[in-house]
Amino acid sequence: MSMSENRVGHLFLILCVVGLFAILSSTMAKNPVLNPFAQSLNAPDAMLGFIAAASTIPGILVSLPAGSLSDIFGRRRVLVASGFVFATAPFLYLLVGNWWQLALVRFYHGFATAMFGPVANAFVAELYPEKKGERMSLFSSATAVGRTAAPILGGYILSITNYGFHDLYLAVAFAGIIAFVVMFLLKESPNAPRPPDSKPGGQAAGALQGWSIVARNPKIVAASIVQASQYYAFGAVEFFLVGYLKEGAGLDPLSIGMVSGLQAAMIPIGGPIMGALSDRIGRKPLIVFGSVVGAAALVLFPLTTHFYLILILSVAYGLGFSMVTSSTSPLVSELTSEELVGTGMGFLSTIMDVGQTLGPIVTGLILGFGLGYLGSFAGIAAILLAACSVFVVIGIWSR
């Protein structure tokens, strides 16, 4: 193994450690503590959804600028800036005295993942230009470990402290500080293109031009729409599937936990496998097939109450999600020039956050109109298939 390969492997390992602790910290600040914390502050029921969504709004606002800034000034600087938010935001929860302050802290905390996600993916794409699918999926799996461990660790802390919210947020801060400190070990990728020197005004103009180039590429837009549809579904399923399993299927808490846990486990397990497969056979077949598999599983969920069938559907949905999301990010990185990889990842992340924000809101409205879980889940499946159709027409057939 050459010195360059050793350096690349070392940087990737550091980034995976950072991703694990960063996402552990940000997820544990939300799940399972946010709902009971908000209710303890007497938050109105109508504001609970707003408080939950407050952290996703920065993703819509800053993911694209963050990606562009990383193209101009380097990935490390933007990652360290996100690390500062990861490390400082948890301490602000300790000062919260009412629900609107909690919403403001959530909004600030959202800037961390909004900057970190697209820039980290651009970093991985530069480290492994020939293995983007496999390595981006492996990095995603590292973050998924943190995301999966967060509710377990958070629930344990709340149980032994009798809902000691401050104790939990100190643990959130500890994980965020680890992520921030480890970020300083990162160096720029040896494969990173050198941006041309220019005055600040020229850099701003270059960033705007980059946004225009990416946004006018129909194939990037089509891939981003597919990604958004997957996170639209994920955000809705994460919240409403538990309701169906309890009310519709009559499952006990342990069985519900097994279904949710197995579904979550499919993402870090299936992601690297599907990513490596997309490197070999191409991104597009997996995106189409994964969308169809995910849509089919969603339609079938409310048609059965059998525990083992629900488990199988949960595995199918998780694998379908992994097929698509392990292919969209590397595809967008391949559709952009080397100088605009960060901008492309930022654009993808921005559209994705729009989908994730709308998913639970729209599904809740459908459920509220009396269409039930079957109508709600069929609506989510229709979104997946509609996005897939757009991708087929624009991303595959167009030239």
pLDDT at 203: 58
What backbone torsions phi and psi does residue 204 show, to the nearest 5 degrees? Answer: -65, -45
pLDDT in tens, 296-326: 999 999 998 899 999 999 999 999 999 999 9
Give the integer Cα–Cα distance in Å for 335 and 330. 9
CA proximity to 274, closest of 324, 315, 310, 234: 324
pLDDT of 46 above 80: no
Q: Is the distance from CB of 72 to CB of 207 less than 8 angstroms?
A: yes
Residue type, 359: G
- Give me 329's structure tokens: 């990010």
Half-sphere exposure of residue 66: CA atoms within 13 angstroms, side-chain side: 31
| Confidence band for 239, pLDDT divided at 50, 70 and 90 | low
Average per-residue pLDDT for the chain? 87
Q: What is the residue-wise DSSP string for 82-122?
A: HHHHHHHHHHHHTT--SHHHHHHHHHHHHHHHHHHHHHHHH
Give the integer Cα–Cα distance in Å for 251 and 259. 10
Domains located in the chain, CATH noted: 1-195 (1.20.1250.20), 211-399 (1.20.1250.20)
pLDDT at 396: 62
3-state DSSP: the chain helix, strand, coil percent, rounded to 5?
85, 0, 15
- Global pTM value: 0.79
pLDDT in tens, 61-89: 999 999 999 998 899 999 999 999 999 99
Q: Give burial (CB, 10 Å; 0-12/13-18/19+) of 284.
A: middle
pLDDT in tens, 138-182: 998 899 889 888 888 888 888 898 888 999 999 999 999 999 999
